[in-house]
């Protein structure tokens, strides 16, 4: 390996260590007691805003070290450009976590994750428009909710059996957690389930295809890269592509039911309302009026106000816009790649945590042996022939003007 590549590898390892102290989502979790207190007040007929304390972090030393590293990177090399983008993302994330509860928190969140008003592509509809389209087209099916009757303990056993063939050394653990606010949470080493939660059959498979075969798999593939270990980092800049991949996986594997799709679109509507000043109670009622249970409504509203201000005023976390945004991004990237004769690009997204732009940037390094193709990947990605067929047909359907076609026309064809 040349001296220049040795230097890039050293910088990669240094950046990997620097990124570790900057945690985004874990410090924003609310204790389970906040939900209990909220519902106790609600049941008394005295609804109150949740009592949540936010403690800004101090990442001054990390930000300074990141700036120094960024200044030393050779952005003329694909690996150097990738490392620079990653370092910049972590610098913004550090600033965001230092600004908890303030308008600067939301400003950095919008830089990292986007906002409902962002356009899908230049001249195209906004993320808000996409979400409202999905909600309008599924309104007649809003009462279709999957039956949630599977207890967490049994779900944990099923997931362990599903994970075992692909995840070993170490295995992907499944643990029950009585204090978990959400129904489920996942990392590259474990999946946590709230001990008292009930799950639907679709939700079990969502955990497998979304959390394990996308999030956990891409992180493990990245951490095991021999040259660029930073491909294993969970940085905010890759969140959009990650959630887009994971949501696409749910659709392709038939486990994304209409309630799930509406839930993702409602998050965009809620973020839009919160950015306009709505407080926690207003956002809670937004979800509840859309048909979510009160537990779901609390959890959905909590996601919007993590790190923000439950009193309103537009201080919110915009992260949940990335599901609809990412689904558009990844689907269009894959379809365009196939149209241009680049069938290797969709699978490259699984070689680590990366954006579509990173895939284009790093593709030459695969040929040089500096970036390893994914070891762990879902079957729908491994089966390239079927994936290409799906993407080609999907791209063709985009050309059909559905509003100009009546059912009668189709019946007479």
pLDDT, tens only, 178-192: 877 778 888 878 899
Average pLDDT over residues 197-226: 93
* Average pLDDT of span 26-42: 91
Interhelix angle for 322-339 vs 239-252, to 10°?
80
Check: CB of residue 273 under 8 Å from CB of residue 316.
no
Query: Does residue 314 sit within a domain?
Result: yes
Phi and psi angles of residue 404, each rounded to the nearest 5 degrees, phi first: -90, 0
As a whole number of angstroms, the longest Cα–Cα distance in the chain is 70
Q: Does a structural domain hold residue 410?
A: no
Q: Are 331 and 295 in contact (CB under 8 A)?
A: no
Task: Determine contact, residues 257/146, Cβ cutoff 8 Å.
Answer: yes
- Residue 19 belongs to a domain: yes
Handedness of CA 84, 378, 138, 281 (dihedral sign): negative
Identify the CA nearest to 253 among candidates 393, 386, 355, 152: 386
How many C-beta atoms lie closer than 10 Å to residue 409's C-beta?
Answer: 9
Residue 392: its pLDDT value, please?
Answer: 86
Task: Classify 333 as helix, strand or coil.
Answer: helix
Q: What local confidence, expressed as pLDDT, does residue 413 receive?
A: 59
Contact 380, 386 (CB under 8 A): yes
In a domain, 154, yes or no: no
Of the segments 46-55, 193-202, 357-366, which one has the largest average pLDDT value? 357-366
Model pLDDT for residues 146-165, shown as the tens digit of each residue: 888 899 999 999 999 999 99
Domain-located, residue 115:
yes
- 178 within domain boundaries: no
SS3 of 176, please? strand
Helix (H, G, I), strand (E, B) or coil at 174: strand
214 and 242 Cβ atoms separated by less than 8 Å: yes
In a domain, 170, yes or no: no
Cα–Cα distance list, 320 to 147, 186, 295 (Å): 25, 16, 18
pLDDT, tens digit (0-9, with 9 covering 90-100), for 367-376: 999 999 999 9
**Is 42 a domain residue?**
yes
Range of the domain at 314: 3-148+200-397
pLDDT at residue 404 is higher than 70: yes
Q: What is the pTM of this model?
A: 0.92
pLDDT of residue 149: 83
* pLDDT for the residue 180: 79
Domain count, the chain: 1
pLDDT in tens, 344-359: 999 999 999 999 999 9
Above 80 in pLDDT, residue 4? yes
Whether the per-residue pLDDT at 15 is higher than 70: the answer is: yes
Percent over 90 (pLDDT), the chain: 75
User: Could you give the CA distance from residue 171 to residue 167 in angstroms, rounded to a whole number?
Assistant: 5
Contact 101, 315 (CB under 8 A): yes
């Amino acid at each position: 390996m040349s001296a220049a590549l040795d230097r890039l590898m050293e910088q990669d390892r240094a950046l990997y260590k620097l990124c570790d102290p900057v945690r985004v989502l874990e410090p924003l979790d609310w204790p389970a007691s906040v939900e209990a207190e909220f519902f106790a007040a609600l049941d008394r007929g005295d609804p109150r805003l949740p009592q949540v304390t936010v403690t800004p972090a101090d990442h001054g030393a990390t930000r300074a070290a990141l700036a120094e590293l960024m200044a030393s990177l050779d952005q003329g090399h694909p690996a150097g450009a990738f490392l620079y983008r990653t370092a910049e993302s972590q610098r913004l994330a550090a600033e965001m976590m230092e600004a908890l509860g303030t308008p600067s928190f939301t400003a950095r969140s919008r830089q990292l994750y986007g906002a409902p008003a962002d356009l899908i592509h230049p001249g195209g509809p906004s993320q808000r428009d996409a979400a409202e389209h999905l909600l309008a087209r599924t309104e007649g099916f809003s009462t279709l909710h999957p039956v949630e009757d599977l207890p967490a303990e049994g779900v944990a056993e099923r997931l362990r059996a599903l994970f075992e063939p692909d995840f070993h050394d170490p295995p992907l653990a499944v643990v029950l957690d009585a204090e978990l606010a959400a129904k489920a949470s996942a990392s590259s080493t474990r999946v946590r389930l709230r001990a008292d939660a009930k799950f639907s059959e679709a939700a079990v498979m969502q955990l497998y295809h979304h959390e394990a075969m996308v999030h956990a798999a891409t992180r493990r593939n990245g951490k095991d890269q021999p040259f660029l270990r930073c491909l294993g980092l969970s940085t905010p800049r890759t969140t959009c592509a990650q959630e887009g991949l994971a949501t696409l996986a749910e659709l392709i594997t038939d486990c994304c039911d209409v309630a799930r799709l509406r839930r993702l679109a409602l998050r965009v509507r809620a973020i839009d309302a919160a950015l306009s000043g709505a407080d926690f109670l207003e956002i809670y009622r937004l979800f509840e009026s859309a048909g979510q249970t009160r537990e779901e409504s609390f959890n959905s509203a909590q996601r919007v106000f993590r790190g923000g201000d439950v009193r309103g005023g537009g201080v919110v976390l915009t992260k949940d816009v990335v599901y609809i945004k990412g689904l558009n991004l990844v689907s269009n990237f894959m379809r365009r790649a196939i149209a241009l004769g680049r069938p290797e690009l969709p699978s490259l997204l699984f070689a680590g945590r990366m954006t579509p732009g990173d895939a284009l940037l790093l593709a030459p390094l695969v040929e040089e042996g500096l970036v390893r193709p994914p070891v762990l990947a879902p079957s729908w990605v491994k089966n390239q022939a079927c994936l290409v067929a799906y993407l080609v047909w999907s791209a063709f359907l985009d050309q059909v003007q559905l509003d100009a076609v009546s059912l009668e026309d189709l019946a007479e064809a």
